[in-house]
Amino acid sequence: MSDNLSNKPNNEEVELGQLFNAIGKVFENLFKLIGKLFKLIFEFIISALKPIVQNIKLIVVSVTAAAVIGFAIDKFSPTIYSSDMLVQPYFQSKYKLANNVDYFNALIAAQNYSELSRIFDIDSTSAEKLVEFDMKIGPETPNDLLSEYNEYLKEIDTTLADEVTYEEYIENRDILSGEIFSINAKSKENDIFLSLENGFRKTFENEYSKKLKRIRDSTILIRKAALKVELRRLDSLQNIYFGILKAESESNKLSLGMEGMFPLQQERIPTREYELFQEELKVRDAIIELDRELIEESVYYDVLSGFEEVGNEAKDFENRYFIILPALVFAVMALIFIFYRMFNYIKEY
């Protein structure tokens, strides 16, 4: 019996030692695998860079030549000027605006300068100087985005509202989700931009936007008429209550005995003057709010910031051949040398 008890701790110690050995081997193999992966990655990077280093002189000469050519192209190419206009469309005219921006770019690509000159009321020579139009969302504050997100949740089904987070909405919103838009115009002339505003003004007044404006105006007039009827009803009730109060004040006290020293008051009829006054204020505020909406959105768009009279020189990266050509030449040559080395390696494998 005592021999069995003494053997049991020894067996447990042996099993525990074997367990630690097994765990140690697992970690040892894991570290070896990680080391091999790092070694393979390092060898791959060295193999990829080796042909570039071996042909560094040819690459430097080619990149330098590309930089000189790019500088010459930038030097002798016509200067591109740009200007921005901030607009806030109403009555869903932003969809027509986006469509017209694409249409203007298509006319430029097709060199249809006669149509461009007709749209923007400029001569054909100035129309030929147009380079490109671009539209993007204008400046927005975090509060604007949060308000937009809350409005979006009100429009969708309640079962989906809990599934759409604020981050997901911001990530997936498109350009037409905004309320303010920035229109960028590029031209080879720096004093043409003010003339372009008239062409954009025409894009906002389309049939669909006019229909929405008519519906909005009619709805406001109907609501105002209903509120005025309610206001007249409140005035009538107030006049009735004032009449009651006047009648009570005239026959309020009756003298009984003691030479009128102890007046007897009649029972007062309850009225709601204060409640009616509060209700009248609400109705008048609602009418003022409708008038404000009618005045503020009486047009199809607002120009928050128009095109500058003189445009600024565009310094876009895609137009800097001094940078683009050397980078392109370096990338192409590096890929050629790498693929050539890989081809030889596979061929001799």
Q: Is the full-model pTM beyond 0.75? A: no
Tell whether 169 is covered by a domain: no
94-108, 109-123, 240-254: the lowest-pLDDT one: 240-254
Tell whether 146 is covered by a domain: no
Hey, what amino acid is at 95? Y
The count of structural domains within the chain is 3
pLDDT at residue 106, rounded to an integer: 93
Q: What is the CATH number of the domain that holds 111?
A: 3.30.70
How long is the chain?
349
| Phi (first) and psi of residue 183, to 5 degrees | -105, 120
Longest pairwise C-alpha distance within the chain? 135
Helix axes 93-109, 193-204, angle to 10 degrees: 130
H-only helix segments in the chain? 2-54, 56-76, 93-109, 113-120, 124-127, 142-155, 158-161, 166-172, 193-204, 207-250, 273-296, 321-348
Enclosing H/E stretch for 313: strand 312-313
pLDDT at residue 13, rounded to an integer: 63
Domain identity same for 96 and 13: no
Select, from the ranges 48-52, 97-101, 335-339, the one with the highest average predicted confidence (pLDDT).
Answer: 97-101
Are the C-beta atoms of residues 94 and 168 closer than 8 Å to each other?
A: no
C-alpha triplet 253, 258, 261: angle, nearest 5°: 45
CA distance 184 to 138: 11
pLDDT at residue 107, rounded to an integer: 92
Tell whether 257 is covered by a domain: no
Domain identity same for 99 and 128: yes
Mean pLDDT for the stretch of residues 181-200:
87
pLDDT at residue 104, rounded to an integer: 92
Mean pLDDT for the stretch of residues 40-69:
81
Q: Are strands 253-255 and 263-265 parallel, antiparallel or unpaired?
A: antiparallel
Structure tokens at 144: 């604007």
Domain identity same for 215 and 239: yes
Domain identity same for 193 and 310: yes
Are the C-beta atoms of residues 238 and 276 closer than 8 Å to each other?
A: yes
Mean pLDDT for the stretch of residues 253-281:
58
Domain identity same for 111 and 191: yes
Query: Does 1 have pLDDT greater than 60?
Result: no
pLDDT at residue 271, rounded to an integer: 54
Query: Does 5 have pLDDT greater than 80?
Result: no
Q: In this predicted model, what pLDDT tens digit does every residue of 213-229 receive, in sequence order?
A: 888 888 888 988 888 88
Instruction: Classify residue 44 as exposed, middle or buried by CB count within 10 Å of its CB (0-12, 13-18, 19+).
Output: exposed
Mean pLDDT for the stretch of residues 92-97:
84
Are the C-beta atoms of residues 157 and 140 closer than 8 Å to each other?
A: no
Tell whether 153 is covered by a domain: no
Chain center to CA of 97: 16
Tell whether 254 is covered by a domain: no
CA distance 165 to 176: 19
Tell whether 232 is covered by a domain: yes
| Phi (first) and psi of residue 73, to 5 degrees | -65, -45
Query: Does 38 have pLDDT greater than 90?
Result: no
Q: Are strands 130-137 and 263-265 parallel, antiparallel or unpaired?
A: unpaired
Domain identity same for 104 and 25: no
Domain identity same for 195 and 113: yes
Domain identity same for 200 and 311: yes
Select, from the ranges 137-141, 152-156, 248-252, 320-324, the one with the highest average predicted confidence (pLDDT).
Answer: 137-141
Domain identity same for 287 and 214: yes
Q: In this predicted model, what pLDDT tens digit does every residue of 163-188 receive, in sequence order?
A: 778 888 888 888 888 888 999 999 98
Tell whether 261 is covered by a domain: no
Q: How far apart are the first and last CA of the chain?
A: 69
pLDDT at residue 258, rounded to an integer: 43
Domain identity same for 215 and 234: yes
Q: Show the domain range for 274.
A: 207-244+268-298
Q: In this predicted model, what pLDDT tens digit does every residue of 228-264 receive, in sequence order?
A: 888 888 888 777 777 776 776 666 554 444 444 445 4
Tell whether 99 is covered by a domain: yes
Domain identity same for 228 and 284: yes
Domain identity same for 187 and 96: yes
pLDDT at residue 145, rounded to an integer: 83
The residues near 71 (Cβ < 8 Å, ≥ 6 apart) are 321, 322
Mean pLDDT of the chain: 79
Helix axes 207-250, 93-109, angle to 10 degrees: 160
